A and B are shown apart, each in its own frame.
Chain A
């Protein structure tokens, strides 16, 4: 897609001509071309190359041969891949729903006149800026079954000690807790942006009509911030599907393969087993899953907007 259109349109000509009828638009293409070249080299080229690799039998260090759809068929019959897809979807579902709920409530609180709002919001935003590997490292210590502070805190309220990320049954919810801790602030910021755009007047008339706080939220606030909630859902879905740092640094997909998402399996295939062809096929399928889910969510958003427009 590296379009070669740096036509040297005479930008200076318009000044001399100076006619009111013909106004030659300044040429903006040269500004975009360097970025197009870079995007072509580091984004578009890898894509084309991945597609090509995915139809080849290719393990690093061995010879390459054309394989057709073999890698894709192998993927369809690979139980470990299906298992990782299930892990990915459950991880993503939980990592969207929990931050969405908490982030929306937090936005409603921070939208009100809270004392020390600036300071508190500043601290609230910090987790999402912190380096994920550093975050993962400290959470790993906190999850430690014997010495971890979390089991101590649980013991204070009489809950028995958990094994957190060290048990196949609790590893995904534990990782989701870290993901939620880190990314609830982004949801909060997006929803806060939505709340800032909500007009005051409808609430004043609702107040006069005797609507209570819940009714005001349910029938006024919620519909008005719905587009923002949808954007937050889409961004959260994309990010949760792609999540790598936290999972890899804390469990590497373990115990066993209990927290192996597609992204982790893809990493292992390509960079532990050096099975480049198979890994590329997996990357293509994974990307298709992400685009498909985002597309469905975008369609839902469009439909809700039309429904809104018809309602008015």
Chain B
């Protein structure tokens, strides 16, 4: 009895050791974002300052373009995700029903390909089309990220949904489209949620496409934060505040949808071999 209790306490501390790098990192991030310049430069470092510098956050939003970049991020991620769902959910259904597992190889290859090798040819193509100043290049290239994720998650999901209902609807004279829309799709809702969340997160976090394709007016948030770091000698407080603002939506999503994310990632990963 008591040895079992000791065991559990030991396990808890072991788990705490493994979780502590994450806890300490995010705590320190918050601390940096809430300190004035003097406190951020203090030695030994201060974790909780006497005065909180909420003005760091105000500075981030006053920063020219920050709200515009936020809006750009929302537009790029939102459009790329919606397009991916529109295309990818039916595709996942078709591939699962056709039992065309080999087409999944395409997705695997897409995963292996470095993002930069899409960028060179598509960059030229966008230049020829004369759409480099708009958000479309980024929306289109984000499909490289979002479509494989959605198709991948949906294949896995449709493979596990029962066929009997669909067969029954077929015999009753429903077309394949009706079967898909009225029978398969409603059952697949949880799968679509997983695909949506993962697609949003990985599109939102993407940096390399923006750094090449974005101009001043079409910057997404990760690029904006990177530019703050490299070009402007901003103090640490506002920089950390900006970093926190960028990653906060994703972290909140992770917190609330932890179970779905874990299910989606492990399913995708485990099938990945």
Contacts and interface: CB of A to CB of B under 8 A. Distances in A.
B45 A245 contact: no
Interface string A277-292: 0011001101100110
B263 to A, nearest CB: 10
Nearest to A192: B266
Interface string B86-116: 1110110111011010010010011111111
Nearest to A191: B266
B79 interface: no
A32 B28 contact: no
B115 A138 contact: no
Nearest to B14: A109
B93 A28 contact: yes
Contacts of A181: 21-22, 25
Contact of B19 (A123, A189, A238, A276): A123
What secondary structure prevails in chain B residues at the interface with A? Answer: helix
Contact of A189 (B125, B204, B253, B262): B262
B15 to A, nearest CB: 5
A14 interface: yes
Contact of B117 (A38, A46, A102, A140): A46
B109 to A, nearest CB: 8
A279 B120 contact: yes
Interface in A24-49: 26-32, 34-36, 38-39, 42-43, 45-47, 49
A28 B94 contact: yes
What secondary structure prevails in chain A residues at the interface with B? Answer: helix
B97 A28 contact: yes
A132 B258 CA distance: 19
A287 B144 contact: no
Contacts of A121: 258, 262
Interface size, B (range):
35 or more
A231 to B, nearest CB: 4
Given A116-B12, A141-B236, A123 B91 contact: no
Interface in B256-273: 258, 261-262, 265-266, 269-270, 272-273
B147 A38 contact: yes
A241 to B, nearest CB: 8
Given A42-B118, A134-B225, A238-B111, A120 B273 contact: no
B269 A133 contact: no
B19 A290 contact: no
Interface string A281-312: 00110110011001000100100000000000
B270 A190 contact: yes
Contacts of A122: 254-255, 258
Given A109-B14, A120-B19, A231-B270, A244 B117 contact: no
A311 to B, nearest CB: 20
A46 B122 contact: yes
A286 B176 contact: no
B243 A53 contact: no
B251 A129 contact: yes
A168 B147 CA distance: 39
Nearest to A130: B247
A3 to B, nearest CB: 10
Interface of A: 1, 11-12, 14-16, 18, 26-32, 34-36, 38-39, 42-43, 45-47, 49-50, 53, 102, 105-106, 109-110, 112-118, 120-127, 129-135, 137-138, 140-142, 146-147, 149, 152, 181, 186, 189-190, 192-193, 227-228, 230-232, 234-235, 238, 241-242, 244-245, 248-249, 263, 266-267, 270-271, 276, 279-280, 283-284, 286-287, 290-291, 294, 298, 301
25 contacts: A1-B106, A31-B93, A32-B91, A32-B98, A34-B90, A35-B87, A35-B90, A39-B147, A43-B113, A46-B118, A112-B11, A115-B12, A130-B205, A133-B207, A134-B225, A137-B239, A138-B29, A142-B25, A186-B269, A189-B262, A242-B114, A283-B114, A286-B117, A287-B117, A291-B112
Given A34-B91, A43-B106, A49-B125, 19 more contacts: A14-B170, A31-B94, A31-B97, A114-B12, A120-B16, A120-B19, A124-B18, A126-B255, A129-B250, A133-B243, A141-B32, A141-B239, A189-B262, A244-B207, A270-B120, A286-B117, A290-B114, A291-B112, A298-B273
Interface of B: 8, 11-12, 14-16, 18-19, 21-23, 25-26, 28-29, 32, 40-41, 43-45, 86-88, 90-91, 93-95, 97-98, 100, 103, 106, 109-122, 124-125, 140-141, 143-144, 147, 151, 170-173, 175-177, 179-180, 201, 204-205, 207-208, 211-212, 221-223, 225-226, 229, 236, 239-240, 243-244, 246-247, 250-251, 253-255, 258, 261-262, 265-266, 269-270, 272-273
